[in-house]
């Protein structure tokens, strides 16, 4: 059977899942001076290197609006003996399920991982633990995070059942996927998503999905009728192309609320100094006070859509909903991202419209799509003032925007990256380790491009010159005795490399390995070759499949995913397999002859060649069991087919033999037990004739 990794939250599996989420950026720790601890403490495992914000720590107190309780955290510093094991022991004894070490001597304990913390480059967790030489204890604004494994965290309580949703397997927007054929259920899935701070969890059969947002084609539906594999009592885990969806909060911001607009965050709002208020700025090259507006005329029907429509028609760049008020402005002031926008919109049930001293913010400010040939928007990045993402030598202009900045950076032909923050432009050949992709680039550029973002608080919009496209190629002579066969289609519901089944009986096995951070043709082929398979296939960059037969798949194109272990090498793609073979024919099961009890294999025969008597069905079936059983009843003939043994009263004369006895016996798979309309026939040889000697 195909291998399914049940304990996906072991430390090594966590590393693989994190790598898969990062796309082609593999989580390769080899060569680092310091590395995270592996299995640092009983039942704990490594999650990853996360960014940390001095004002909003990744591991901090959390107000749970469901229970109206504060889930506390703990912080200890100046720990001369600090290490992963030391910090985890403190957190574990205090009942916290998440622990983090930072800057070498700091230890954090909490109930969940919180934004704005995001996964960072593993190499940026480069501070050595004072209590464990060679072990990584975070870094500057970096925290090495560990969590207790397979425990129902307090943060999983209070999740909401959102019901049955569709899930198109071709346009799947839910990720990553955990599989467990024995334990799947709401609690199992929510536990895995909650510890990674995902607000959505979904179950389908034996699969668990996590997501940050829900968007079409994931929409409310019917048809969730699949029982969960790990729970009793009728709990349902989705169905065919369906998921059962759960979320941390029933009140959610609007998704795609208005053409060109998007959700920013939940912000604090001081009644004495509003986040949405008049803004003294520049436009286009002189002083100008940008107006703002607040209205309650939409109070009976307030939603993101109605508020944004009101603001958009008045040419505002920001819209905010709060209780029964709609705010419009052209910049945000003083307010900062926060939790607990948990007031329901009067015009959109289930949608969040801020709260007391909270405002749900939307904007139409967008990064530029540069007119400069060969340049594109790389993303919104964190920008630590002590360690700027693109250095600390800006060019400043009151007419700054993406085009102005890129034009400036192109004066140096070695420049690869250009970044904008308000009126400042940065040029660099690389992005520093402190800069990681994030959100929050909502600062309006002061230049000519109205509505264009130029970074934000602690954020920078980065543009980069396009590298020449790299088209991955299959491996040539990847492993002794193996060759490249081609790029093949692969149906997730009927795999190209799967067990071979004849008339309901499995003749051959298959295997797979996924979330591999070092996957390539050589690694996958070695895995399959050592297990005795004739075909090996790589898929999606990080998957390896093995089988003895090639089924259903057809030769095609589209194997353009780069192997996680070998840049430039093709490892399949979405529903595409890069397949290799050793051209060895499959070794079918063979009859047992002679049988240890003296019986002999007579022939493979059609089922109409014998007259049957007693029949037995057992998982212990093979020639020895069947002939031994029939011998007890004084039969001289016996036949086997799969799990069934028959004792035979008569054999046709003359006997017509046949081929096709390929079913492996359940007790000894290397031995053949019949086949489709075929029996493996065994006989007890007649005893030798007795010789009479005359005595003289």
State percent of the chain over pLDDT 90.
39
Q: In sequence order, what are the residues at sequence separation of 6 or more whose Cβ sits closer than 8 angstroms to the Cβ of residue 418?
A: 375, 390, 402, 405, 406, 408, 409, 425, 426, 427, 462, 463, 464
pLDDT at position 689 is 66
**pLDDT above 80 for 557:** yes
pLDDT-wise least confident of 49-53, 54-58, 116-120, 575-579: 116-120
Average pLDDT for 239-248: 83
pLDDT tens digits for 73-101?
888 888 889 999 999 999 988 888 889 99
Ramachandran area for residue 219 (φ above 0: left; ψ -120 to 50: alpha; else beta): beta
pLDDT-wise least confident of 281-295, 383-397, 617-631, 648-662: 281-295
pLDDT-wise least confident of 43-47, 268-272, 378-382: 43-47
pLDDT at position 187 is 77
Report DSSP letters for 344-358, one per residue: EETTEEEEE--BTTE
pLDDT tens digits for 205-227?
888 988 877 665 666 577 888 88
pLDDT tens digits for 283-310?
555 667 878 999 988 888 899 999 999 9
pLDDT at position 285 is 58
pLDDT tens digits for 587-627?
889 999 889 899 999 999 999 999 999 999 999 999 999 99
**pLDDT above 80 for 377:** yes
pLDDT category, 692, cuts 50, 70, 90?
A: low
pLDDT tens digits for 471-527?
789 998 899 999 999 999 999 889 999 999 888 888 898 999 888 889 999 999 999
φ/ψ of 648, rounded to 5, equals -115, 130
pLDDT tens digits for 562-572?
999 998 899 99
Average pLDDT for 259-280: 89
Say if CB 357 and CB 273 are below 8 A apart: no
State how far Cα 538 lies from the chain centre.
Answer: 17
Average pLDDT for 333-343: 78
Report DSSP letters for 187-203, one per residue: HHHHHHHHTTT-SEEEE
Boundaries of every domain in the chain:
31-148, 154-247, 262-363, 375-465, 600-683
pLDDT category, 314, cuts 50, 70, 90?
A: very high
pLDDT at position 351 is 84
State percent of the chain over pLDDT 70.
86
Task: Please tell me the distance from the alpha carbon of residue 370 to that of residue 401, in angstroms, as a whole number.
Answer: 10
Question: Average pLDDT of the chain?
Answer: 83
Say if CB 206 and CB 238 are below 8 A apart: no
pLDDT category, 357, cuts 50, 70, 90?
A: confident
C-alpha distances out from residue 21 to 13, 18, 517, 663, Å: 12, 5, 11, 42
| Most confident segment among 105-109, 166-170, 299-303 | 105-109
pLDDT at position 250 is 58
pLDDT category, 234, cuts 50, 70, 90?
A: low
Residue 316, classed as helix, strand or coil, is coil
> Which residue do the tokens 């919180």 mark?
114
Task: Please tell me the distance from the alpha carbon of residue 177 to that of residue 542, in angstroms, as a whole number.
Answer: 13
Encode burial over 367-385: b for 16+ CB neighbours within 10 A, e otherwise.
bbebebeebebbbbbbbbe
pLDDT tens digits for 19-70?
333 333 323 343 457 888 877 887 787 888 988 988 788 898 876 554 556 7
**pLDDT above 70 for 421:** yes
Describe the chain by its helix, strand, coil percentages, rounded to 5. 10, 35, 55
Residue 645, classed as helix, strand or coil, is strand
pLDDT category, 171, cuts 50, 70, 90?
A: low
pLDDT-wise least confident of 129-143, 239-253, 261-275, 393-407: 239-253
DSSP 453: B
Question: What is the chain's length?
Answer: 696
Task: Please tell me the distance from the alpha carbon of residue 109 to that of residue 88, in angstroms, as a whole number.
Answer: 8
pLDDT at position 177 is 67
Q: How many CB atoms lie within 10 A of CB 426?
A: 25
Encode burial over 680-693: b for 16+ CB neighbours within 10 A, e otherwise.
bbbbbeeeeeeeee
Q: Which long-range contacts (CB under 8 A, 24 or more apart) does 309-317 make?
A: 309/258, 312/258, 312/260, 312/261, 312/364, 316/292, 317/363, 317/364, 317/365, 317/444, 317/451
Q: How many CB atoms lie within 10 A of CB 186?
A: 22
Average pLDDT for 368-394: 87
Nearest CA to 428 out of 465, 385, 386 is that of 465
Task: Please tell me the distance from the alpha carbon of residue 429 to that of residue 402, in angstroms, as a whole number.
Answer: 17
pLDDT at position 417 is 93
Report DSSP letters for 112-130, one per residue: S--TT--B--GGG--PEET
- Give the gyration radius of the chain's Cα atoms: 33
**pLDDT above 50 for 154:** no
Average pLDDT for 365-388: 86
**pLDDT above 50 for 16:** no
pLDDT-wise least confident of 134-143, 346-355, 580-589: 346-355
pTM: 0.40
Nearest CA to 601 out of 627, 619, 621 is that of 627
**pLDDT above 70 for 371:** yes
Average pLDDT for 370-391: 87
């Amino acid at each position: 059977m195909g291998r399914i990794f049940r304990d996906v939250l072991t430390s090594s599996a966590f590393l693989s899942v994190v790598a898969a989420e990062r796309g082609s950026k593999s989580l390769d720790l080899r060569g680092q001076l310091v590395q995270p601890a592996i299995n640092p403490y009983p039942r704990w495992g490594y999650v990853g290197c996360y960014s940390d914000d001095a004002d909003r720590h990744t591991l901090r107190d959390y107000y749970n609006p469901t229970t109206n309780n504060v889930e506390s955290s703990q912080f200890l510093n100046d720990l001369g003996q600090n290490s992963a094991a030391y910090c985890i022991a403190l957190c574990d004894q205090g009942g916290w399920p998440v622990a983090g070490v930072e800057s070498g001597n700091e230890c954090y304990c909490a109930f969940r991982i919180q934004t704005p913390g995001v996964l960072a480059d593993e190499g940026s967790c480069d501070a050595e633990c004072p209590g464990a030489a060679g072990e990584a204890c975070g870094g500057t604004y970096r925290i090495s995070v560990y969590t207790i494994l397979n425990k129902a965290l307090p943060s999983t309580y209070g999740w909401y059942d959102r019901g049955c949703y569709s899930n198109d397997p071709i346009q799947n927007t839910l990720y990553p996927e955990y599989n467990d054929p024995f334990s799947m259920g709401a609690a199992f899935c929510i536990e895995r998503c909650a510890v990674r701070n995902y607000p959505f969890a979904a179950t389908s059969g034996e699969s668990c999905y996590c997501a940050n947002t829900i968007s079409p084609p994931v929409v409310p539906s019917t048809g969730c009728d699949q029982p969960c594999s790990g729970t009793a009592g009728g709990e349902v885990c989705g169905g065919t192309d369906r998921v059962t969806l759960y979320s941390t909060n029933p009140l959610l911001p609007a998704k795609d609320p208005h053409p060109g607009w998007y959700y920013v965050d939940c912000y604090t709002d001081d009644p004495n100094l509003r986040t949405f208020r008049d803004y003294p700025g520049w436009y286009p090259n002189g002083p100008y006070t940008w107006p703002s507006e607040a209205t309650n005329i939409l109070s009976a029907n307030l939603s993101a859509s109605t508020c944004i429509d009101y603001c958009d028609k008045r040419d505002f760049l920001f819209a905010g909903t709060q209780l029964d008020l709609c705010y419009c402005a052209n910049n945000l002031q003083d307010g900062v991202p926060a939790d607990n926008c948990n007031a329901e919109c009067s015009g959109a049930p289930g949608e969040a419209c801020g709260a007391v001293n909270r405002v749900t913010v939307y904007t139409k400010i967008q990064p530029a799509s540069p007119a400069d040939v060969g340049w594109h928007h790389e993303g919104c990045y964190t920008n630590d003032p002590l360690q700027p993402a693109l250095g600390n030598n800006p060019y400043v202009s009151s007419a700054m925007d993406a085009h102005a900045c890129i034009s400036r950076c192109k004066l140096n032909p070695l420049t690869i990256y250009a970044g904008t923050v308000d009126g400042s432009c940065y040029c660099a050949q690389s992005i520093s380790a402190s800069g990681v992709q994030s959100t929050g680039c909502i600062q309006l550029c002061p230049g000519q491009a109205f509505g264009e973002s130029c970074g934000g608080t602690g954020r920078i919009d980065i543009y980069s010159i396009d590298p020449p496209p790299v088209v991955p190629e299959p491996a040539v002579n990847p492993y002794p005795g193996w060759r490249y066969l081609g790029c093949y289609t692969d149906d997730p519901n009927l795999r190209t490399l799967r067990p071979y089944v004849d008339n309901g009986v499995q003749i051959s096995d298959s295997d797979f390995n996924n979330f591999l951070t070092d996957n390539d043709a050589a690694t996958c082929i070695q895995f399959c070759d050592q297990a005795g398979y004739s075909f090996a296939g790589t898929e999606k960059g990080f998957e390896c499949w093995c089988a003895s037969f090639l089924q259903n798949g057809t030769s095609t194109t589209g194997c353009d995913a780069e192997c996680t272990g070998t840049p430039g090498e093709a490892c399949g793609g979405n529903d595409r397999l890069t397949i290799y073979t050793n051209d060895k024919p499959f070794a079918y099961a063979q009859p047992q002859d002679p049988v240890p009890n003296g019986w002999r294999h007579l022939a493979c025969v059609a089922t109409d060649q014998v007259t049957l008597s007693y029949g037995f069905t057992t998982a212990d079936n093979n020639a020895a069991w069947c002939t031994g059983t029939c011998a007890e009843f004084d039969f001289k003939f016996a036949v086997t087919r799969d799990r069934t043994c028959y004792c035979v009263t008569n054999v046709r004369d003359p006997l017509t033999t046949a081929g096709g006895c390929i079913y492996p016996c359940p007790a000894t798979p290397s031995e053949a037990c019949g086949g489709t309309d075929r029996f493996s026939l065994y006989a007890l040889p007649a005893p030798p004739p007795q010789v009479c000697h005359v005595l003289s």
